[in-house]
Amino acid sequence: MKPLLTTAAALLLAPLCHAQPGPISLLQRGITAATTDSARFRLLRQAHLDALAAGTTVSYQGIDTLRLDIPPGAQPIPLGPHNDFSHTVIQVRNTNSDLFLFQLAPPLLPIPTPIPADSLLAAIDHGDYRSIPALTQGRWLIQVVDSTPWVGQRTGHTYGHYRQELIRTHNGLSPDRPAMPYSATPSRPHLFGRPIGTDTAFLLANITLLRHPASTHKTYLLNLEGQLRATLRSVAVATPQSDMTDDRIIRIYHCASVTLDSLTLLGTYSRTNHSGYGLLMDNCRDTRVLHLHARSNWGIFGTNNMHTTILSHCNFDRFDIHCYGRDVTFRHCTQSHSYNQFSSVVGTIAFDSCTFTDFTPLLIEPSYNAYPHFLLLMHDCRWHLTRQRHTLINAGHHDTLLPSRPELRTKCLPDIFIDGLTLSGPLLLRPLLLHYGGAVAPRPVGGIRHIIVTRLAASRLMPWPFILSDKKVPLANPVTLFASSHTGRPLRASTLPSL
């Protein structure tokens, strides 16, 4: 009987031996009783290291506030995929070195591409990577870096821009396409990536970071890279007034299917004349920003190489894509006292049921000298003009300086389709449809063929309030202009040879 009982006991105990370890409790580890705030930081980091080694999570249950002091030589706290901070408030003082408090950034390694250069360009355009041996099996997250500069040098700066794409593949095939084509261009792409077959979605939720006013160095919240699915939910960061700049509270690079839900960012380390961002993003695909509430001295967003971004029910100062991207949609957003900045963005920039106050909805950043064609769509928006800001599109500089990339040689204006726009502001202040900065070259401007404005309502004396532009620019194609009021009455109908 003894062997039989032993066998039965082993069978009963086997599931327990392989059970998933429970979360590591910070309360049980005595983190609230730490003798110093620096010691508490070390205990917190060690708890997360131990959780990663054990394949489990860290529990913040029962903790209201953690006070941390960043010690000398500190390293970021590593995260796993699931991070629920249970509404914990973390107060951080940093007098040692700039640091990301939390980090998950697996490396994207070089992928050999033993195929002809033209074949690689075609693979990127058509989403077929089956000729690349490393990508024929499984799921991959791929970073495409074009080593031929998209912009050789940004005016007034020492750097240019290199375009990037983020691609998801399964057994060598991908539904993802680049923002602009690679075939028949001077592009020289290189691939980096990692397999993502067993990855789980990343979550960071329910945390408040309070940056201490006595800090002399910056503590950023999160550095996140190389994730297939990532969600940040119910995150708040408060930044006191400071002389520090160059902020990057949340840094997200090379990620797909990103959701930022209910973020509150009150201030950044920045000035009105020196940058610092709440959300620094590069090479992200399919990003959704929901219920963002944010204000800063400079601007909350600083992004590059963004493909398909949707912002919904947000109240914030500014969105920008510094250089290279495709398709941005704003829905039920409120923006004020600033502008949205874009450069080298194609596809569609759309505003649906948005409200602008003392705000320029679209500024084409001139320093990159990149003006591809896109569509500007506006639907049921409200725009309150001020004497400082009453331009719908700041169209950049259409001068004689030509870009180095052949794809950008023709400088374009967007096609403009507006259906439902209510204007308000000082009496007799006429809004400007297009503003050009600097001298205008005689070279014709391409792209634009239509300016269609319907359901226009203006609380002012003139029936057609817009001044079309402040300078005359020749057009490569005749432009059809049509406008009607909110009652359906025609206001303007003509063909424009210049604009």
Question: pLDDT, tens digit, for every residue of 437-490?
Answer: 877 888 899 999 999 999 999 866 566 789 999 988 899 999 999 999 988 888
Tokens of 8: 């039965």
How many angstroms separate the CA atoms of 210 and 10, rounded?
Answer: 51
| Residues with pLDDT less than 50, the chain | 1-17
- Phi, psi of 219, deg, nearest 5: -110, 110
Which sign, positive or negative, has the C-alpha torsion 326, 287, 223, 168?
A: negative
R_g of the chain computed on alpha carbons: 26
Cβ–Cβ under 8 Å, residues 255 and 282: no
Q: In the prediction, which pLDDT does 464 show?
A: 77
SS (H, E, C) 215-273: CCCCEEEEEEECCCCEEEEEEEEECCCCCCCCCEEEEEECCEEEEEEEEEEECCCCECC
Amino acid present at 284: C
Checking 210-214 for CB contacts under 8 A at 24+ apart, the result is: 210/89, 210/90, 210/91, 210/92, 210/238, 211/92, 211/94, 211/237, 211/238, 211/239, 211/240, 212/91, 212/92, 212/93, 212/94, 212/240, 213/240, 213/241, 213/242, 214/93, 214/95
What are the respective helix, strand and coil percentages of the chain, to the nearest 5?
10, 45, 45
Q: In the prediction, which pLDDT does 460 show?
A: 60
Kindly state the DSSP code that residue 33 receives in the 8-state scheme: G
Neighbours of 214 (CB within 10 A): 9
Q: In the prediction, which pLDDT does 8 show?
A: 45
How many angstroms separate the CA atoms of 76 and 108, rounded?
Answer: 19
Q: In the prediction, which pLDDT does 1 show?
A: 42
Q: In the prediction, which pLDDT does 14 show?
A: 44
How many angstroms separate the CA atoms of 454 and 492, rounded?
Answer: 10
Neighbours of 5 (CB within 10 A): 9
Q: Which residues are registered as beta bridge partners of 69?
A: 93
Q: Give me the chain's average pLDDT, please.
A: 93
- What would you measure as the largest C-alpha separation in the chain, in angstroms? 102
Q: What is the pLDDT of residues 236-247, one digit of tens each?
A: 999 999 999 999
Q: In the prediction, which pLDDT does 497 show?
A: 84
